[in-house]
Amino acid sequence: MSLCPTSDAKLRAEMRVELRETARRLDITSLYVTTSGGGARHLGSVIVMNGGKIEQIGSPQDIYNRPVSRFVADLLVPRT
């Protein structure tokens, strides 16, 4: 059975919330890997990597408002 894209997006959003709340409740550090800039905006600290090298580290708001490179800016807000 295949989920429709809307259901997939909703499930991913629900799982991000669940993972974040579980990590906080257990007082553990967790790592959530995504290629989705949209998904990264809802997490704690974000590390943006490009070609295996760190481009920027910060809160989702800092990275969104002050990207240090075109790569970071395009990841979060793709050009049309």
pLDDT in tens, 32-58: 777 666 666 666 778 888 888 999 988
pLDDT classification of 68: cutoffs 50, 70, 90: very high
pLDDT at 1: 47
Determine the average pLDDT of the residues in 2-10: 66
* Angstrom distance (rounded) from CA 73 to CA 67: 5
Which pTM value belongs to this model?
0.58
pLDDT at 30: 74
Q: Is 47 helix (H, G, I), strand (E, B) or coil?
A: strand
Residue 45 neighbours by CB distance under 10 Å:
11
Determine the average pLDDT of the residues in 16-28: 84
